[in-house]
Structure formats: structure tokens, C-alpha cells
Amino acid sequence: MDEFEIDVLAEPELEDPVLVEGLPGVGHVGKLAAEHILEELDSEPVCRVYSKHFPPQVSVEDGKAELAHAEFHAVETETGPDVVTLTGDHQAQDNAGHYGLTDTFLDVADDLGVERVFALGGVPTGELIEEYDVLGAATTEAFVEELEEAGVEFREDEPAGGIVGVSGLLLGLSERRDLAAACLMGETSGYLVDPKSAQAVLEILQDVIGFEVDFSSLEDRAEEMEEVVRKIQEMEQGNATPSEEDLRYIG
């Protein structure tokens, strides 16, 4: 196996598609958001990326093993432009690997004719929150203004420490390729997998890109999560213990 391997699964005709990345990160916000798009809209897998920089691991489903990979899907948004999602269960496991993997993702995006990139993620607040703001960063001033108009928050000194990992590199390496890219980060505690944060990010994204998804299933998951949070708080006060299903929400 080479350092990076690209398996082309389909070659659909796409028109100025937009890339939406949702790999694992803080609160799994980006992952939840991108996977929600795939659950709600029609899509077909177009490409898989394997790499020696992914963990040496297979996942097992119905007894069948699958080597660690990231996957691109072409999504029919009906009302909006073509969208290509980038999802997966892992990020690169080493420093230089992050750079090489993101370069490979952008090569695939380039082959697919992608003109704009959206990296989705979370920014940890360190505590449970009531209001779910979405913070942003982008490669050009014009893009920053467009996002501000859509309700994205740009605050001085946030995110503290910049943006690390594939979301950050998608911005940095897109900029070096003269490709417009933005990162939308939903505020989240950082303690839980956060459906409310994912929904906040998707609400902005659908306005900016121009598509629509139904949020019912995310809202259901949000209610379940709030139930879990309440139980944990009660548990800490000695009143109840979380079930295994509850624990599904913890990171």
C-alpha cells in the first residue's frame, strides 16, 4: 500500500460542487453535522482515501472488516448546489501525516471540481451552555464578511490557539492553492457528543450554501442528550446512575 491511496468509486457529473468536511474533532460536532447531511439527503460514495497515517485498524460491521479510511460522497441537495461531503472515523496519527492527508483530500476535491471548502467543527467552552453560537474563520476577507452576514461570530482571540488538525489545514492549504475555504465551529462543552451544536452549524451552513435538511432526528438526539446531562447532574448529587445508552453521548 502506498502512503496515500485513492479509490475512485464513482465519477458523477458535478457542477461547481462545495466540499463539506466533517471528520472527528471536538464534541464530534463536524462529524455529526456532515453525517446528518448523508442521513437526510440522497448521496452516493465517490471516493475513498486510505493512508499509512490513519491508525492501523479495521472497523467491524456485520462481521465484515473495513480498513481505516475517509470517504467522499456526492450529495443531491435538490434546492442547492452539488455538495461533496468528507467523512470518516479518524484523523492522521502524526504531524506530517496531517499535512499529507489534507493535501490528498484537496487533490480529490480538485479532481471533483470543488470551488469552495467548508470545514465543520466544534470549539470547546469547557462548560455546558444554553446558547449555541457558531464561530468562524476563512481564507479571504470577502468570505469572512459573507459568513458574518449569515450569523457566524468572529471574536477577537477566538478560537484560542487557532484551529488544529484537518479543519485548520483545510483552510491553510486551500489558501495556498487559491481555493476559498471557511471553518464553522459550533460552541460545545467538549464533554459530550453534541447534536445541538451540530444543528447550529448546519443551520448556518444551509443558509450560506443554499440547501435544506430536516432537523427532526438531530432534535430528537438533542433531547436524549439533555436527558443524559440531567441524569449526570443528578448522579453527581447522588440521585441516579447513567445507563450504557446514556453513556453513548459521552465523547
Interface ranges with its own copies (CB under 8 A):
1, 3, 5, 50, 52-53, 55-60, 62-68, 92-100, 102-103, 136-141, 144, 147-148, 154, 158-159, 161-166, 168-169, 171-173, 175-176, 181, 183
CB of 175 to its own copies, least distance (A): 7
* Of residues 82 and 121, the one with the C-beta less far from its own copies: 121
Question: What's the rounded Cα separation, in Å, for the pair 102 and 92?
Answer: 9
* Of residues 53 and 73, the one with the C-beta less far from its own copies: 53
CB of 164 to its own copies, least distance (A): 5
Say whether 198 sits in a helix, a strand or coil: helix
CB of 6 to its own copies, least distance (A): 13
Tell me the three cell numbers of residue 45: 460514495
* Of residues 167 and 197, the one with the C-beta less far from its own copies: 167
Say whether 78 sits in a helix, a strand or coil: coil
Say whether 231 sits in a helix, a strand or coil: helix
- CA angle at 160 for the pair 159 and 166, rounded to the nearest 5°: 60
CB of 35 to its own copies, least distance (A): 17
Going by C-alpha positions, the residue among 120, 125, 144 that lies closest to residue 203 is: 120
* Of residues 100 and 186, the one with the C-beta less far from its own copies: 100
Question: What's the rounded Cα separation, in Å, for the pair 108 and 27?
Answer: 27
* Of residues 37 and 92, the one with the C-beta less far from its own copies: 92
CB of 36 to its own copies, least distance (A): 21
For residue 28, CA distances in Å to 24, 35, 116, 158, 197 come to 5, 10, 22, 19, 9
Contact between 53 and 94 (Cβ < 8 Å): yes
* Of residues 125 and 229, the one with the C-beta less far from its own copies: 125
CB of 12 to its own copies, least distance (A): 24
